[in-house]
Structure 1
Amino acid sequence: MTNIILNRRKFLGTTAASAAALASPIYLRRAHAQGGEVNIWTYNNFVPDDFKDQFESETGIKVNVRLVDDQGKQFNLLAAEAPSPTVDIVTVAGHRFLQFIDSDLLAPMDTDRLNNWGNINPTFSEGDWATIRGEKWGAPILSGMEVLAYNTDLVSQEEANSWDVLFSEQYRQQTAYILQDMFSVLMLKMGYDGNMVAYMDDPERAAAIVAEVQQFLIDKKPLVRKYYDGGAEIQQMFVNQDIALGHAWNGPIAQLIKDGFPIEMTVPEEGSYGFVYTYNIAQNAPNVDNAYTFLNAILAKPEIGAAMTQASGFISTYKDASQHLTEIEKKSTSFTDEELSRLQFFRAEANEMKYQLVDPAVEAVKAA
């Protein structure tokens, strides 16, 4: 069985990391000489270079990757080519599915053609966001999430197990969060649906919930040091010790962990929200068979999921992928099964109503 060693530049230089390898799935050899091509639109580092080279070598299928950097741009590109796209596989975030589905730009995913579908952690593959109109629409590959990040020299792991610590007198003026995103988190903490799908037929109820969160944030406003917008801001606040803890997306915190800063992140007991990047088959894709061969191959082994995490910085959706990461990589890009069980995922069905309510509420909190 052919092995290829992952590019050492993708690792932190440790012996454990450089020992990782992508083993060649046997079924790829049977697919050799299938030939042709598969065209993929995806983000930088979502297709590991070593996997791509091995896949091309063993299947004879040429992989053509076009990099994208924005969901809206990708939608516009695909819509412009419809109904005869040049692309086979696109990369859509789960909470953007409806936009693509309603425009007839994606084909339902035939999971029966993916022998390796079971290698995906069901937290990601079987969530309520993943099935729309009775169909699966994408293969989950990588994820990001909102976390509670805390300086381990100042805050204990036990304290960080609840979002309550973010609003405690003990850490007055030592906290920061993204104000708009905090609305969804607090709805969940208060026992509501932060996606607001449950209230689509009851706008008065939705308005009352947003008003409740708004008042809570106004009441707690003296405790927060800063409402921030970008990842670099919270990184700098942690480094300067302006804050002891904060709400953040996992990516900026992962970088601080890799840099050796005394910081950890968790999904608190009340839960949080995340999003999932998926690989999707374009409607009327010109190379459907090759697309499914590619998807089955990239889902084949946890080592591949680990390689995608190492290259992209996002969290792998693959079972056991963390076993192929170094300790520092595990700390920065993986969560326990218990933490993942607390995670919910963004959905888009109620977004118009939700943000018509949340956007003015955010401004009201800022002005209070």
Structure 2
Amino acid sequence: MLIMTGNITRRRFVQGLGAGAAVAGLAPRTGLIGQAEAAGGQVIVGTWGGDYQNLMDQYIAKPLMGPTGYQIVFDTGMDTARKTKLLAEKPLPRGSMDVVALTHSGSYEMWKNGTLLELDTKKIPNAVHILDKLKTPYAVPHIYTGRVILYNPKYVKEKPTSYNDLWNPAYNGKVGVIDIQYQTTIESAAMIAGGSLSNYEPGKAKLLELKKQGVKIYPTNEAMASALKTEEVWMCIMWKARGVMWQNAGIPIEMANPKEGIVLYVSDQVVAKNARNKDGAYAWVNALLDPSAQVQFARGMGYNPTVSNVEIPADLKARIDFPPDVIYLAQDQDYLAKNDAALKDWWDKEFKA
């Protein structure tokens, strides 16, 4: 397997979120497991809600953590709010979260800002099985996938092989992009226009060509799913795991790996440096890597396991995994940190206008 990685560095911190707003909402909002204080104490897990939290509750909190005596409390919200909270609470001896779910770039950003604990892998027995391409000293990679092309085989008769296939005039007006994925869309265009993961500029002119061809812009992933279901669009760029979920929901799509390479998406969980219950936090991140839980996330959300000791059913593995010769790419987070505001400005004023 060939692995190509850019510098996995800091992602731009969301501007304008005041530290005071974070401190005002320190108490966890949802997900209390049990009413009495557990013998091992509470473990506060800051995370996204929805299917992700439900699966953690069903396959990690209850069966794996329950017998250990720890009480899991989910603090549900957006990852931007969790980052704000980590930064606001950095001077405090005890923070409000023990474990924090973040994207791979978000965890690096928080590590560089000195809010995260450097992990002692001796306290995480399952860490010996973490895939090499996902290892860092500060985060436990929970699940991962990669960016692919989704297409409707009813109309796209020839399986795409490149991002460039979205520019095929035969699909004018039937290609969609997602507003909240402006970074990855510009990045994908740059990859076929002479740019790179560290230079998105050539992607801008390429996207303006797509604009002239009648590209449709949708605000969210869910809106794109609806457009694919109704056949309003025939092709888009998306994370493979999301494509698997949409297939499960009956949306008529298939997936293709772009020859430019598979850009990784990793969902990490990290331990706050000032966590109140570090022992419980270590127990939790170790449980994340348990093969029984990893299999359930593969089934429920279409994500690949981050550990090597998981036996995935062959039919499921064929749907969610990538071939052994795939080229994995990691975003250059340092580049994004420096250029994100300008990229968003261009997207809003030039591409969307």
Question: What TM-score does the superposition give when structure 1 sets the normalisation length?
Answer: 0.71
**Counterpart residue type for residue 78 of structure 1:** L
1:336 to 322, 326, 331: 322
Q: Residues 324, 331 of structure 1: CA spacing in aligned structure 2 closer, same or farther, 3 A cutoff? A: closer
Deviation at 1:57, TM superposition (A): 4.9
**Counterpart residue type for residue 293 of structure 1:** A
1:264-275 correspondence runs (5 A): 264-275=254-265
**Counterpart residue type for residue 306 of structure 1:** V
Q: In 2, distance between residues paired with 1:38 and 1:232?
A: 32
- Equivalent residue for 1:104? 114
Q: Residues 54, 355 of structure 1: CA spacing in aligned structure 2 closer, same or farther, 3 A cutoff? A: closer
Question: Aligned to 1:159, what secondary structure does the other structure show?
Answer: coil
Deviation at 1:364, TM superposition (A): 2.2
How many residue pairs end up in the alignment? 306
Q: Which ranges of structure 1 fall in alignment gaps of 5 or more residues?
A: 1-32, 131-135, 197-205
Q: Which ranges of structure 2 fall in alignment gaps of 5 or more residues?
A: 1-37
Is 1:146 matched with 2:147? yes
1:74 to 79, 82, 97: 82
Deviation at 1:305, TM superposition (A): 0.6
Question: Aligned to 1:91, what secondary structure does the other structure show?
Answer: strand
Q: In 1, distance between residues paired with 2:127 and 2:277?
A: 20
2:232 to 239, 242, 246: 242
Deviation at 1:140, TM superposition (A): 0.4
Conserved? CA contact 1:148–1:267, under 8 Å: yes
Deviation at 1:191, TM superposition (A): 5.5
1:27-106 correspondence runs (5 A): 35-43=40-48, 44-45=53-54, 47-59=56-68, 61-82=69-90, 83=92, 84-106=94-116
Question: What TM-score does the superposition give when structure 2 sets the normalisation length?
Answer: 0.74
Is 1:361 matched with 2:351? no
1:300 to 270, 290, 295: 290
Cα deviation, 1:5-53, whole Å, max 9, x if unaligned, reads xxxxxxxxxxxxxxxxxxxxxxxxxxxx994443322232352424323
Q: Residues 167, 114 of structure 1: CA spacing in aligned structure 2 closer, same or farther, 3 A cutoff? A: same
> Alpha carbon RMSD of aligned pairs, Å?
3.1
- Equivalent residue for 2:185? 182
1:126-205 correspondence runs (5 A): 126=135, 130=136, 136-156=137-157, 159-178=159-178, 180=182, 181-190=184-193, 192-194=195-197, 196=198
Q: Residues 262, 281 of structure 1: CA spacing in aligned structure 2 closer, same or farther, 3 A cutoff? A: same
1:275-286 correspondence runs (5 A): 275-286=265-276
Question: Aligned to 1:277, what secondary structure does the other structure show?
Answer: strand
Pick the structure with greater CA Rg: 1
Deviation at 1:225, TM superposition (A): 3.4
Question: Aligned to 2:334, what secondary structure does the other structure show?
Answer: coil
Identity over the aligned pairs, expressed in percent?
19
Conserved? CA contact 2:190–2:204, under 8 Å: no
Deviation at 1:170, TM superposition (A): 2.5
Q: Residues 178, 37 of structure 1: CA spacing in aligned structure 2 closer, same or farther, 3 A cutoff? A: closer
Is 1:258 matched with 2:248? yes
Q: In 2, distance between residues paired with 1:290 and 1:284?
A: 13
